[in-house]
Amino acid sequence: MKTAYPTIEQMDNIFVYLMDGKVPICFWKGKVTEFTNPDPSYRWIILKNDKAIGKVAEDHEAGMIQLKLSINDKNHNPSIDFKQYAAWAKPPPRRLGSKKIRCFIFQCRDIPSADTDGSSDSYISVWNPEGE
């Protein structure tokens, strides 16, 4: 039996988190439909502090991340080849495995320190809440 994936229209939001270990201290929330272009440009996203955690006091201290992201609707296009698009023609500095969701962090600014040495090592973590 084939699994029916939710369509882009059925998926509401996408979240980007700045983590301190396993604790999200800052976040950004946007719409999945903003990232359906298979040939995206880099864009800045402005993080917000997680007031429930309280590690970052004000929103303006939460920082920004520049990224490009493309989300493919497997219901409508199960075999998209991202390499055919200029945005993905150059591989990232460290080659990642082939994925249907691709995102590169290009640059970060004003990210609060999350490591014990006072720095922040930005990385991307992608998961599905249903465990698939």
* 116 found inside a domain: no
Residue 129 placed within a domain: no
Q: Which of 29-38, 100-109, 111-120 is predicted least confidently?
A: 100-109
Asked whether residue 132 is assigned to any structural domain, the reply reads no
Query: Does residue 41 lie in a domain region?
Result: yes
The edge-to-edge listing of strands for the beta sheet with 23-31 is 13-20, 23-31, 48-49
Residue 97 lies in a domain: yes
Of 117, 120, 116, give the one whose Cα is nearest residue 107: 120
Is 28 inside any structural domain? yes
pLDDT at 9: 65
pLDDT digits (tens, 9 = 90+) for 35-68: 888 899 888 889 998 888 888 888 778 888 888 8
Question: Residue 15 domain-assigned?
Answer: yes
Higher per-residue pLDDT: 29 or 83: 29
**Domain range holding 39?**
8-109
Please give the Cα distance from 1 to 117 (Å, whole number): 50
Q: How confident is the model at residue 96 (pLDDT cuts 50, 70, 90)?
A: very low
Is 114 a domain residue? no
Q: How many domains does the chain have?
A: 1
Residue 4 has pLDDT above 70, yes or no: no
**Mean confidence (pLDDT) of the chain:** 76
